[in-house]
Chain A
């Protein structure tokens, strides 16, 4: 019911927004989807990943490569984004899920840092910091309105976000989602109940990476450009911050966190140029003054 009202509000919202407002809202939808995808791994399965930028970025690049080399079809590009990010998540997850707690953080951070280096060094493939550009797409493979129109951008980003939300909500209540939560709450209990904990962790990691990649695909088709900065560790850290602020315990929480923080940083960007400084301070303050709200999420930190 609440979600229905929210959706209704978002459907009519563009009427009250100017050109920039519509683009900015689409931007928020994209990052909100990314944060919700991150939270499959973190909130649902209890693994704190510090490398989700890699999945967002590989999704964005997967979509861009599909557009540049296969067909100028945004929906095909989104499919390519999911495939690219999922493939990467299968690979990284294969190694990462073998360890837990802080070791898991280190492995995910290391993989994403090396991928950042790779993206910067392979300029002829990724375009480096300048990135890759393509002319704005039409909504249906060469037909229909341009994706550079604010209103079209808005509704495309919203549509994918809603799709992601519906899927994640189903997942969180499905038997599979419950197993993820069981693995999060007690590895030993889940093992003794007969679940292959490592395999479920892997699956959660891959699903999470795939959704993050889908968000990256939305970014690519709505911006008509991608660059190596998307691999930056700050993109990974953003997902953590948004989720901590919005709440990891619900599907919508990270999305709300993303919207709040992005709106806040936009509002203060007139006065504060280096917004990452207050973001960093906020991160420190959250863990010092509000750790109880977070610590229930990952069992290993309670145990230690």
Chain B
């Protein structure tokens, strides 16, 4: 492969991977934007989506079944987590971090106990490659990009066109006022966490045939989405999605000359620089564009 082809290949790869990261980061930003809860278990929800995809795909031989079942299961579990774990402590932000860390430990090691610690590979559900822009590109990754874009569009439609979407945005803007207007804030919280989990689970399903499936795979993603939401402005949905795609492409470019780990360290450096430039602005929701 000559350099131009390699660069092009990595750019497209970065774009596809960036779209998957965008799904997961949107889930995290959605939960933070509405409840100001930082879900440390988010990486584990992604991992759970991937593991369920591996299991369902293996049992039914249908990847479509995995795409439909796994994210819904992860979303339902997230709603249960909101109800049982987060509800009693939703006003103590730091405590929610500790509690979701507990959830992370339970999820990870339950998966370890159930499915074992071995590294699993999910065969590509759509084998083959097509020729685009002069490079041979795996079809499945294009499917991943399409599903990701569709899911992001679906989320946008849901938030802008439905009653629950309106409520979500209302609670996000002003929780007290929303309560006063009779919006069922508790249900909205549960829905937000459920949606966030659904997105993380979907990301896990789509990533399963690309990466290796293992109970610790969530750490890598957790680091990435944290970096994404810090750069993108915590809680900003647009910021999270845009940063994920840009960072994905940048990391893709860097992998032309270095290993993926160094690409991740470059992202970390960017996050550091942003912290230095805007130490106060980043996490204040008021300072980010809505």
Which residues of A line the B interface, CB within 8 A? 48, 50, 95, 98-99, 101-103, 105-107, 109-111, 113-114, 116-118, 121-122, 233-234, 237, 240, 244, 273-274, 276-277, 279-284, 286-288, 291, 294-295, 298, 300-301, 304
Contact = CB atoms under 8 A, between A and B. Distances in A.
Contact of B40 (A109, A121, A273): A109
Given A98-B275, A240-B98, A301-B93, A122 B261 contact: yes
Contacts of A276: 105-106, 108-109
A284 B102 contact: yes
B97 interface: yes
B271 A102 contact: no
Contacts of A122: 261
B98 A283 contact: yes
Q: Name which of B110, B272, B282 has the most chain A CB atoms within 10 A of its CB.
A: B272
B38 A280 contact: no
The CB with the most chain A CB atoms within 10 A, among B104, B223, B264, is that of: B223
Interface in B155-187: none
Interface of B: 36, 38, 40, 85, 88-89, 91-99, 101-106, 108-110, 112-113, 219-220, 222-223, 226-227, 230, 234, 259-261, 264-265, 268, 271-272, 275-276, 279, 282-283
Contacts of B97: 48, 50, 102, 105
Nearest to A272: B113
A121 B261 contact: yes
26 contacts: A50-B101, A95-B272, A95-B276, A98-B276, A99-B279, A102-B36, A102-B93, A102-B94, A102-B97, A102-B283, A107-B230, A110-B226, A117-B220, A117-B261, A117-B264, A274-B110, A274-B113, A276-B105, A280-B101, A280-B109, A284-B103, A291-B89, A291-B92, A295-B92, A301-B92, A304-B92
Contact of B106 (A107, A240, A281, A298): A281
Nearest to A119: B261
Given A106-B38, A106-B230, A113-B226, A280 B104 contact: yes
B116 to A, nearest CB: 11
A69 B151 CA distance: 53
B104 A301 contact: no
A284 B264 contact: no
User: Of residues B101, B219, B222, which shows the largest number of chain A Cβ atoms within 10 Å of its Cβ?
Assistant: B101
Nearest to B267: A114
B252 to A, nearest CB: 17
Given A98-B279, A117-B220, A284-B85, A110 B230 contact: yes
Nearest to B93: A102
B35 to A, nearest CB: 12
A101 B94 contact: yes
Contacts of A109: 40, 222, 226
B102 A107 contact: no
Contacts of A114: 223, 264-265, 268
Given A276-B108, A284-B102, A301-B95, A110 B89 contact: no
Given A113-B222, A118-B261, A291-B89, 14 more contacts: A98-B275, A99-B279, A103-B283, A114-B223, A117-B219, A117-B220, A117-B264, A122-B261, A277-B109, A280-B105, A284-B103, A291-B92, A291-B95, A301-B93
A287 B98 contact: yes
Contacts of B265: 114, 118
A99 B88 CA distance: 26
B107 to A, nearest CB: 8
Contacts of A304: 91-93
Contacts of A111: 268
A99 B283 contact: yes
Contact of A300 (B94, B98, B104): B94
Contacts of A103: 234, 282-283
Contacts of A234: 105
A48 B103 contact: no
A280 B110 CA distance: 11
Contact of A282 (B38, B92, B102, B264): B102
A147 B101 CA distance: 36
B114 to A, nearest CB: 10
B91 to A, nearest CB: 7
Contact of B110 (A277, A284, A295): A277
B95 A294 contact: yes
Contact of B109 (A98, A107, A274, A287): A274
Nearest to B271: A110
A301 B85 contact: no
A281 B102 contact: yes
Nearest to B275: A95
A101 to B, nearest CB: 6
B219 A288 contact: no
Nearest to B227: A110
